[in-house]
Chain A
Amino acid sequence: MSGEISRENFPMNTSSEKFDPIGDLRRRKANFRNYVRDLSPTQKILELEALQERFYELMKVREENGGLPVPDGWRRWHKAQSTIKR
């Protein structure tokens, strides 16, 4: 999603209800949590492994842009990926 959260670029209802971006974020978070809680164990682990990859990428970008370095634990995780036996 690009740009600021606003009435114009948010697919909200057209009623006269006041726009509530925080409330909407909370609802979307709750929806996602309910969705992942109902996943099978296999799907949960797949989500977790995908989350690890996304999380590491974010930290790498942060580090490359002068932010905090990637923590040791995550460096260890990244090193572990290179040892996956094919």
Chain B
Amino acid sequence: MIDKIPKLAAVVEVLSDMRRNGVIGENAIGGAVAAALYSQPISTIDLDIFFLFDPPQPGLILSLEPVYKYFKERDYTFDKDFIYVAGWPVQFIESSHDPLWTDALKNARVIKINNADVKVLPPEHLAAMWAGTGLRKIC
């Protein structure tokens, strides 16, 4: 297992590529996967990526089209709000409209997965997010 590379590492590479190409700006892993990284692995199905556009989109109506365009151009599979990346159903959550989410991104912690730096939302913010949604899934 020491030599095995997690599939999540491939997702991390994609996120880095998206940032290099200006598709997204600041981003971090949230949700149950983030919680698993702070505690113990708990069975969870999908991966939530909280992010900001850089530069921010003008106007009041937000569009995730730049994100979808990136994946469509590279023939990734879509399933409603999810994009299948390296075996992970990934959901991108734009975070500029929520002060808690924005603050969480600003204070994201850096960890290493397969020697790559990965940002993860802080545990205190994760707890506040879940409390705010009544422990329902953030979508």
Q: Which residue on chain B has the smallest CB distance to residue A40? A: B112
> CB within 8 A of A48: which of B1, B44, B86, B114?
B44
Secondary structure of the A contact surface, majority rule: helix
B84 close to A79 (CB less than 8 A): yes
B43 close to A51 (CB less than 8 A): yes
User: Which of A33, A47, A74 has its CB near the most chain B CB atoms (within 10 A)?
Assistant: A47
B79 close to A73 (CB less than 8 A): no
B36 close to A80 (CB less than 8 A): no
Does B6 interact with chain A (Cβ within 8 Å)? yes
Q: Which residue on chain B has the smallest CB distance to residue A35? A: B40
Does A12 interact with chain B (Cβ within 8 Å)? no
Collect the chain B residues with CB atoms within 8 Å of residue A52's CB.
Answer: 43-45
A43 close to B1 (CB less than 8 A): yes
Task: State the 4 A-B residue pairs at the shortest beta-carbon distance, nearest first.
Answer: A48-B41, A80-B84, A45-B6, A47-B41
Q: List 16 A-B contacts (CB under 8 A).
A: A33-B40, A40-B112, A41-B111, A42-B6, A45-B8, A45-B113, A46-B1, A48-B33, A52-B44, A52-B45, A74-B45, A76-B82, A80-B82, A81-B87, A83-B77, A84-B86
